[in-house]
Structure 1
């Protein structure tokens, strides 16, 4: 199975504990799957389970471990890649505050 990478823009779902403080997030998500379509479905379900709604998929492609091994600044991404290999999915949320906060 391949590891698919997605960068998505998302907003908090109603009921998200951070809904009032956060306006949105870019979410980097690594998913182990047999196809891009299946991986995107898994990523969408995971992001919703975390209390977020995807607004737009900014980027999507298959990734390989070597991409992260060569750059020491990508250590966190390498850890997420390895977690996806072992657990099936991994993510990093880069959030920004609401202007009203």
Structure 2
């Protein structure tokens, strides 16, 4: 299995708690999967469950084990995806 990385630009779903507080955000996802299509569906499902809507897929690629340096923040998210099959981090901005 591979770890796929995706970065999405997102907006909160209308009438959600997020909609009241946030104008938008970026979501970075690390997903363990056999193929890119299923990994992307999983990532979009995680985002949707948090009441966010994907506007655009900004970036995607497979991450190899040595991609991150020892002190790189992304390394912990990569490791979390190895354990839990998914890890998504929301970076938001207020209204």
TM-score by length of 1: 0.88
For residue 52 of structure 1, what is the aligned residue in structure 2? 52
Residue equivalent to 1:16? 16
Q: TM-score normalized by structure 2?
A: 0.93
Is the CA contact (8 Å cut-off) linking 1:15 and 1:51 kept in structure 2? Answer: no
Displacement of 1:67 in angstroms is 1.1
Separation in structure 2 between the aligned mates of residue 7 and residue 21 of structure 1, nearest angstrom: 21
How much has 1:91 moved relative to structure 2? 1.4
Unaligned runs of 5+ in 1: none
- For 1:15 and 1:66, how far apart are their aligned partners in 2? 42
Q: In the alignment, which residue of structure 2 is the partner of 1:87?
A: 84
Q: CA RMSD in A?
A: 1.1
Q: How many residues align?
A: 95
Aligned to 1:78: 75
